[in-house]
Structure 1
Amino acid sequence: MSDTPLKDFPVVVTFPVHWGDMDAYGHVNNVRSFTWFESARIAYMVRVGLVGPSAAGADKTVGGGIGPILANTHADYVRPVVFPANLVVGARVTRVGTSSITFEHVVAGADDGVVYTRGGSIVVTLRYATHEKVPVPQAIRAAIEQLEGRSAGG
């Protein structure tokens, strides 16, 4: 992917456009971008151990149960997606705060690299039992830095 708009995205997921994804205007309904963002974001969080069976907070008992919750998402639509198409959707982390992780997303054509949508999202680490924000676990921070190819301080 070195020549694509997703070359700096460590997690990339591929999707075919389905006929049923289109709306009455003859292009893919814009809400699909959020589903694609979500799938790439979840794939990223699985890779760093924030969700999935090996997640740091997989134990849902008292004292465990730490995981992500979506706080914000947005999209900038660059051009409409039409059937047929194969897409690649990237996720990368641009910032890790005290209790939040900021993602950047891009949707592009798998064959030609044409950018269709850019966007982002913020997830907050939450203790589900009490609904309180908690700091992003150090192991998750380290896994993000390693996946992103950055040193643990910058």
Structure 2
Amino acid sequence: MVCAMLSEFPVTVEQPVVWGEIDANGHVNNIWYFRYVENARVELYRRIGKYDESVAGGVTIVVASTSCRFKSPLGFGDIVATGVKIDVIGVDRFLTSYQVVRKSDGAVAAEAEAELVCFDPVRRIKAEIPAPLRQRLEALCVSAS
């Protein structure tokens, strides 16, 4: 069921809901959904070689904006699968979308988006997406097919 739900997301990460993520209402606090999304984004970065590119080319990627829509509560002991896909690639930025799914029943717990911008930390300005990074992004981009 989860595989079908996340079939259009080329990068997925699974993780358990732990006790410290539960709030006074007995479900996962909203801030943790951003952590699930962040963990998927870090796996995307790893897959596209962001960390190697940052060292070699001096350009990194920063989050320009992010949002999340909460759809279904998660509880202690749930396993969540979070998928990320690349929707649009621009000159200096790319847009990603995420889906957080409860593994036991395939319920969509949240949907999120993030705009990610290439950034030159030395000059403190946005930068074009380096060609090697762009190629790896395009290989994962849903609109590229």
Q: Same fold (TM over 0.5)?
A: yes
1:76 alignment partner, one of 55, 69, 77:
69
SS in 1 for 2:53: coil
Q: Report the secondary structure of 1:25's partner residue.
A: coil
**TM-score normalised according to structure 2 size:** 0.92
After superposition, the C-alpha distances for 1:82-117 in whole angstroms (9 at most, x for unaligned) are 122001001110011111111100000123211000
Post-superposition shift, 1:139? 1.3
Superposed displacement of residue 57, structure 1 = 2.3
Q: 1:30 matched to which residue of 2?
A: 30
How many Å apart are 1:131 and its aligned residue?
0.9
Tell me how many residue pairs correspond in the alignment: 145
Aligned partner of 1:132 among 125, 128, 133 = 125
Q: Distance in 2 between matches of 1:25 and 1:149?
A: 37
1:3 offset after TM fit, Å? 5.0
SS of the residue corresponding to residue 126 of structure 1 reads strand
Q: Root-mean-square deviation (CA), in Å?
A: 1.8
Residues of 2 paired with 1:37 and 1:2: CA distance?
A: 16
Change (3 A) 1:3 1:48: closer
Q: TM-score if structure 1 supplies the norm length?
A: 0.87
Residue 39 of structure 2 is matched in structure 1 by 39
* Residues 1-154 of structure 1: pairs in structure 2 closer than 5 A: 4-51=4-51, 55-59=52-56, 64-148=57-141, 151=144
- The structure with the largest helix share of the pair is 2
Q: Work out the CA distance in 2 between the residues paired with 1:110 and 1:26.
A: 19
- Structure 1 residue 49 displacement after superposition: 1.1
Residue 4 of structure 1, CA deviation: 2.4
Q: Secondary structure at the match of 2:27?
A: coil
Structure 1's consecutive aligned runs of 4 or more residues displaced over 4 angstroms after TM superposition are none
Q: Structure 1 unaligned runs (5+)? A: none
User: Percent identity between the aligned chains?
Assistant: 28
Q: Does the residue aligned with 2:5 lie in a helix, a strand or coil? A: coil
